[in-house]
Amino acid sequence: MRLLYAYLLAAQYLVELLQRNAAATFEPFWYITVHYIVYLILGAALGIEHIANNRKKKGPWKFNYAKLLFAGIPILIFNLTAYLYFKFQLPVYLINRRYVDVTTLILGYLIATCFYKESHTI
């Protein structure tokens, strides 16, 4: 738990530093990129319990592609609107930064929980 708090503090400091740099230089690429990565890692860290529980099971690791395809890809597209706006000058009405933190966190958790082991019990 302490490691999670330390990660949150360090990540928040880095994001704020990059946000100030983006405001000063009008180059938001690194701020947006690191912001996404921070919340993806946090979401994956929240899904570690699922991976730890599956690690105890016998059998090969599997990956749930359907879960990623039908839930993860739409979240990813929604999250990339801000990046695409700055990269390709899309219309402003496509930008909604309000839920990006939460949806990126969900995407990280979703990716972590896509890994599982099939247990063959008789």
pTM assigned to the model:
0.80
pLDDT of residue 115: 93
* Domain extent at residue 57: 2-117
Asked whether residue 38 is domain-assigned, the answer is yes
Asked whether residue 122 is domain-assigned, the answer is no
Question: CA angle at residue 96 from 93 to 100, to 5 degrees?
Answer: 160
Question: CA angle at residue 12 from 7 to 14, to 5 degrees?
Answer: 95
Asked whether residue 66 is domain-assigned, the answer is yes
Q: What is the pLDDT of residues 27-36, one digit of tens each?
A: 888 888 888 8
Query: Is 113 in contact with 49 (CB distance < 8 Å)?
Result: no
Q: Compute the distance between CA of residue 15 and CA of residue 33 in angstroms, rounded to an integer.
A: 10
User: How far, in Å, are 7, 10, 112 from residue 3 at the CA level?
Assistant: 6, 10, 18
Count up the domains in the chain and report the number.
1
User: How far, in Å, are 5, 59, 105, 109 from residue 117 at the CA level?
Assistant: 30, 6, 23, 17
Torsional sign, CA 29, 85, 87, 33: positive
Q: What is the pLDDT of residues 65-120, one digit of tens each?
A: 999 999 999 888 888 876 777 777 766 665 666 788 888 999 999 999 999 988 76
pLDDT of residue 91: 67
Q: Compute the distance between CA of residue 3 and CA of residue 6 in angstroms, rounded to an integer.
A: 5
